Amino acid sequence: MMRTLYRCLRRSHLGAAVLCGAMFCATVSAVYAQEQAQTQPLSENSAAQQSDESADAGALAPKVTSELMPDEVAPGQSARLRVTVLVPTYMPRPVEFADLDQANLRVRLGERATTPLSRRMDGRTWSGVTRTYQLTPLAPGQYNLGPAKLTITFQHPDSGEIVSEAAETDVQTLTATVPPAAAGLSPYIAGRSLSLSQTFTTTRAGAEESEGAVEQIDASSEGTVELAVGDSLKRDITLAIEGGSVLLLPSLNEQASAAGMEVYTASPKVSEHEAGGERSESVTYIAQQSGHASLPSLSLRWYDTQSEKVATVQLEGLALSIKGGGFPAVGQRSDFACWWLLMPLLGLLLLLWACRRWLLPLWQQRQQKLAQQQEALGVGALADLHKAAKARHYAASLTAWQHLQQCVPVLSAHRRAAVIEALAGIGQQRYGTGAGTETSALWQTLEQALPSAGDLRASAEPGVLPELNPHARPQTVA
């Protein structure tokens, strides 16, 4: 019985222990589950809050949009690219827009190309600017516009600081295509309208302005205009285009030549506006010879973008009647001018030939005669003597002195004695009892005693006679 009771108690303690362990595990599991339930909403709320903050920051960033209308045009026609920049506050400095210039694309900004604007978005008022570019392709092809970089300076909506951010526009592509109807048109000109007009003004040669020297001529008249040789006729031509580029308008001066008239063309003047422009040219004709002449008619083919057909505009020419003797024609005047330019050259060549034929022998004879005279005067021998004296060459000095005496036997006795004395002294010190002593002073004395070229010429004059007795002493009269 005791054993049975012990077994029952043992079983009851074991069950209680098991029951207590189960209850403890259940309690721990419940606490952990409650902590997890409390932690998970916090992390989800934090992530959601960060996502909302990022969304708010992205929503308040500057917004840049671009729009190209139309995106396909013909060369010479214009399209508009509108770039809009918006910020949630305000911009203290203008937006720095990018440069869109590229080859064969004309980019223009009108007078009010950049304008301010405001827009209501998400319950907030945004402010900004919009800029409109006028794009005109000058040749067929595709022109990629963007991404263009912008610099936007604005007040940050949260911190209130002035910040600068870089942004880019969307990529836009403008396509320029020649219409099939204008495929063979050269040069290619397109627009809504194209007109040609002209005026004529004559200026009479030799007439005063008050006497009617300048006269307007009716371009629509079918009669013949009378001119005199030397009169000038000015033709002013104006090309006007709408809905196209004035830069594509060609020059009509190549069609303006006229036979018997000298033609002068002035530089064209081009004025451009938003819808088109004008090109003005001026041609002046000068009557060169009497007879009949005519100014040519002018024509230009272009593509009408409204009717989508090729049209032609034309200007009528003008018949002229020229009276008077007049000047030679342009070609003849050119020939005369060439002859007048060649005549001085021919004269110069003839003068050179005459100089070589007659003057050169005379000059050579003159030079030879002068050389003989110089030799007769002893100038050459004197030069050799000076050279030998400077070189301290005694033998050469003696030879040159002997040659000089033969050429000029009428040297003065005083100069002759001085030279002989100097040479004798040098010889005495070089080869006599004074051998080995310094001779520089004697050489200087010799150089000073030598005659000059003027002395030689004076001695050769006819009025100068040699002394009868150069060794005689002068006598004094009591």
Report the alpha-carbon distance of residue 365 to residue 353 in Å, rounded: 18
Assess whether 443 and 405 both reside in one domain: yes
Q: Which residue has the tokens 């902590």?
A: 35
Assess whether 188 and 319 both reside in one domain: yes
Report the alpha-carbon distance of residue 265 to residue 268 in Å, rounded: 9
Q: At what angle do helices 394-407 and 413-431 cross, to 10 degrees?
A: 160
Residue 468 included in any domain: no
Least confident of 142-146, 378-382, 392-396: 378-382
**pLDDT tens-digit map of 433-456:** 555 566 788 888 888 778 776 666
Show which of 135, 156, 176 is a domain's final residue.
Answer: 176
SS3 438: coil
Residue 372 has a pLDDT of 59
Residue 37 included in any domain: no
Residue 428 included in any domain: yes
Total structural domains within the chain: 4
Report the alpha-carbon distance of residue 232 to residue 241 in Å, rounded: 30
Assess whether 205 and 320 both reside in one domain: yes
Q: Where are the alpha helices (DSSP H) in 248-329?
A: none
Residue 464 has a pLDDT of 44
- Residue 99 to residues 13, 149, 150, 280, 448, Cα–Cα distance (Å): 93, 9, 10, 31, 89
What percentage of the chain reaches a pLDDT higher than 70? 70
Single-letter residue type at 87: V
Assess whether 342 and 273 both reside in one domain: no
Given a cut of 50, whether residue 465 has pLDDT beyond it is no
Assess whether 226 and 152 both reside in one domain: no
Residue 475 included in any domain: no
Report the alpha-carbon distance of residue 196 to residue 278 in Å, rounded: 10
Q: What is the mean pLDDT of residues 126-132?
A: 94
Query: What number of other Cβ atoms are within 10 A of residue 137's Cβ?
Result: 24
Residue 242 included in any domain: yes
SS3 195: strand
Residue 367 has a pLDDT of 66
Is the preceding omega at residue 70 within 30 degrees of 0, hence cis?
A: yes
Task: Using a cut of 0.75, tell me whether the model's pTM lies above it.
Answer: no
In this structure, are residues 86 and 154 in contact, taking their beta carbons and an 8 Å threshold? no
Report the alpha-carbon distance of residue 231 to residue 411 in Å, rounded: 84
Assess whether 323 and 190 both reside in one domain: yes
Q: Say which CATH number the domain at 138 has.
A: 2.60.40.740
| Burial readout 163-174 (b: 16 or more C-beta within 10 A, e: otherwise) | eeeebebeebeb
**pLDDT tens-digit map of 67-104:** 999 999 988 888 999 999 999 999 999 999 988 989 88
Mean residue pLDDT across the chain: 76
DSSP assignment letter at 204: -
Given a cut of 90, whether residue 213 has pLDDT beyond it is no
Q: Which residue has the tokens 């996502």?
A: 51
190-191 β-sheet, strand order: 190-191, 298-304, 309-315
- The domain of 340 spans 334-369
Assess whether 338 and 323 both reside in one domain: no
Assess whether 124 and 248 both reside in one domain: no
Which residues lie across from 129 on neighbouring strands?
Answer: 85, 116
Residue 194 included in any domain: yes
Assess whether 128 and 198 both reside in one domain: no
Which residues lie across from 276 on neighbouring strands?
Answer: 242, 273
**pLDDT tens-digit map of 27-73:** 445 545 555 545 444 344 444 444 444 445 566 789 999 999 999 99
Given a cut of 80, whether residue 238 has pLDDT beyond it is yes
Residue 476 has a pLDDT of 37
Q: Count how many residues are written for the chain.
A: 478
Q: What is the mean pLDDT of residues 105-113?
A: 87
Is the preceding omega at residue 187 within 30 degrees of 0, hence cis?
A: yes
Residue 409 has a pLDDT of 62
Show which of 176, 206, 238 is a domain's final residue.
Answer: 176
Report the alpha-carbon distance of residue 97 to residue 94 in Å, rounded: 9
Residue 458 has a pLDDT of 62
Residue 473 has a pLDDT of 45
Given a cut of 80, whether residue 431 has pLDDT beyond it is no
As a whole number of Å, the end-to-end CA separation of the chain is 210
Single-letter residue type at 445: T
Assess whether 270 and 399 both reside in one domain: no
Assess whether 119 and 89 both reside in one domain: yes
Assess whether 191 and 319 both reside in one domain: yes
In this structure, are residues 231 and 203 in contact, taking their beta carbons and an 8 Å threshold? yes
Q: What is the mean pLDDT of residues 295-303?
A: 89
Report the alpha-carbon distance of residue 314 to residue 245 in Å, rounded: 20
Is the preceding omega at residue 180 within 30 degrees of 0, hence cis?
A: no
Residue 89 included in any domain: yes
Q: How confident is the model at residue 459 (pLDDT cuts 50, 70, 90)?
A: low
Range 354-360, long-range pairs (CB < 8 A, 24+ positions):
none
For the four alpha carbons of 121, 125, 127 and 133, in that order, the dihedral sign comes to positive
